[in-house]
Amino acid sequence: MTVEKRAWQSFIPVCCKVESPSPKHKKQNNSLQRLVALWDLSSSEDLSNSLAGSNLHVFTFEELRMITHSFSSSNFLGEGGFGPVHKGFIDDKLRPGLKAQPVAVKVLDLDGFQGHREWLTEVIFLGQLRHPHLVKLIGYCCEDEYRLLVYEYMPRGSLENQLFRRYSVSLPWSVRMKIALGAAKGLAFLHQADKPVIYRDFKASNILLDSDYNAKLSDFGLATDGPEGDDTHVSTRVVGTEGYTAPEYLMTGHLTAASDVYSFGVLLLELLTGRRSLDENRPQREQNLAVWAKPQLKNLRKLNRIIDPRLEGQYCESGAQKAASLAYQCLSHQPKLRPTMSTVVDTLEPLKDFNDISLGPFVYTVGDLHKENPKVKL
């Protein structure tokens, strides 16, 4: 049995819970035909044929070795659960129809946290999905034991690096809101697709930024089809990143689009506070950002105290109130009370145009978040 066939058999419980057909599940099973058809793949040629029309290029390992200068350390961009990522450059002579451009080449680490099934999921989902706020997958390599992915190059790297890197200039308030809006549009597109997709691993390190700080979702290794028909959720093993995972998913394994909304709420807190979703270097009660910050979001005096101090008061107070209120809704422990991602987009859309305003270091507002109150100077 080939590695592809073994991998796809082990892939089944990750994508969805497949049971004997019944009237209730008939529509759900039909929506998974694109995956079912691939479970019997036995070669990279079959994969290429199945993805015909996706405009993905199938690279050889030698081609990718050449464009990255043998995966040299000078081209190293970073490393995640999938494996190391190197920058490369494709010239217009490499193959017809492929323009000259810089690329990011991700190499699957066979001893890492992710494996062939996550690699295959990424190829399938990004091979079929196209959106301005999803990173573009240019092609892949499936040769012998090698599994690589080739993406468009994102010059500013991940939001995690931009937001939390020490000794770097802080992201301005307006840029943070622009990034939040772009990421929200990416999630909304997935949730509203003809065959809805649940991202399942939404976090700062999976949001990549181009030169203009346009946000694009990357790393679809844990993505899965959403529920359809009469089903209210998808039952899966619990995967994701601690600190971002919705509480109901952690407790039951029941996955819905609202699980992604919760993760978005955590990211919004990171943008507001400049703190990581989980930080063991902080005092015990402050280590889990959502647990610590949520009770403070509806009190404006407390909110102003937890806003990222690196902004030095250069933010729009009314915009911060609206963003905090939105984060509070996204973090509701009742999934049905969370907004849809399309509602999140509508809420964030006007915030990107709010100017960065200096509040001054000693100015705060007293009272409830939803009331207008005079500013009080100390």
Count of beta carbons in the 10 Å neighbourhood of residue 237: 9
**Which one, of 51, 208, 225, lies nearest residue 140 by Cα?**
51
pLDDT at 246: 93
Place of tokens 């009770």: 295
Q: Answer whether residue 51 shows pLDDT above 90.
A: no
Q: Label residue 356 by pLDDT band (50, 70, 90).
A: low
Which class for 161: exposed (0-12), middle (13-18), buried (19 or more C-beta within 10 A)? Answer: middle
Taking residue 284's Cβ as centre, other Cβ atoms within 10 Å add up to 8
Is residue 46 predicted with pLDDT exceeding 60?
no
Residue 43 DSSP one-character state: S
Please write the tens of the pLDDT for every residue from 316-328: 899 999 999 999 9
- Which homologous superfamily is 3-152 in? Phosphorylase Kinase; domain 1 (3.30.200.20)
Q: Under DSSP, is residue 360 helix (H, G, I), strand (E, B) or coil? A: coil
- Of the options 2.40.50.140, 1.20.1070.10, 1.10.3720.10, 1.10.510.10, the CATH number for the domain spanning 159-377: 1.10.510.10
Specify the pLDDT at position 125. Answer: 83
Task: Find all residues with CB under 8 Å of 336, minimum gap 6, and list them.
Answer: 258
- Confidence band for 33, pLDDT divided at 50, 70 and 90: very low
Q: Which pLDDT score is estimated for 2?
A: 36
Spell out the residues 6+ positions from residue 270 whose beta carbon is closer than 8 angstroms to its own: 163, 204, 276, 277, 289
Q: Which residues make up the CATH 1.10.510.10 domain(s) of the chain?
A: 159-377
What confidence score (pLDDT) does residue 30 get?
39
Q: What is the mean pLDDT of residues 277-292?
A: 95
What are residue 134's DSSP bridge partners? 217
CB–CB of 134/189 below 8 Å? yes
**Closest listed residue to residue 312, CA positions, set 154, 130, 173, 140:** 173
**pTM across the whole model:** 0.80
261 or 15: whose pLDDT is higher? 261
CB 177 within 8 A of CB 308: no
Give me the phi and psi of 193, to 5 degrees please: -65, 160
Question: CB of 294 within 8 A of CB of 273?
Answer: no
**Residue 305 pLDDT more than 80?**
yes
210: its two tokens: 């181009």
CATH 3.30.200.20 domain span(s) along the chain: 3-152
Residue 328 sits at φ, ψ, to 5 deg, of -60, -45
Q: Most confidently modeled of 35-49, 104-118, 194-208?
A: 194-208
Check: CB of residue 248 under 8 Å from CB of residue 259. yes
pLDDT tens-digit map of 78-95: 887 778 999 999 988 887
Torsion of CA 102, 240, 124, 35, to 10 degrees: 180
Does residue 308 carry a pLDDT above 50?
yes
Catalytic residue among 111, 201, 279, 356: 201
Q: How high is the pLDDT of residue 232?
A: 61
Token pair of 39 as six digits = 């479970």
Verify whether residue 46 is a known catalytic residue: no
Q: What is the dihedral of CA 186, 188, 194, 195, to 10 degrees?
A: 80
CA angle 112, 113, 116 (to 5 degrees): 80
Residue type at 358 in one-letter notation:
S
For residue 258, pLDDT over 90 is answered with yes
Residue 4: its pLDDT value, please?
A: 35
E runs forming strands in the chain: 57-58, 76-79, 84-90, 101-107, 137-143, 146-152, 197-198, 207-209, 215-217, 224-225, 234-235, 254-255, 363-365, 375-377
Beta strand 137-143 with 207-209 is unpaired
The length of the chain is 378
Three-class SS state of 255: strand
Give the pLDDT band of residue 292 (cuts 50, 70, 90). very high
Question: Residue 369: which of 293, 303, 272 has the closest Cα?
Answer: 303
List C-alpha distances in Å: 168 to 165, 171, 267. Answer: 6, 9, 20
Look up residue 374 and give its two tokens: 């005079």
CA distance 285 to 128: 43
Lowest mean pLDDT among 151-160, 301-310, 351-360: 351-360
Choose between 53 and 3: higher pLDDT: 53
pLDDT for the residue 341: 97
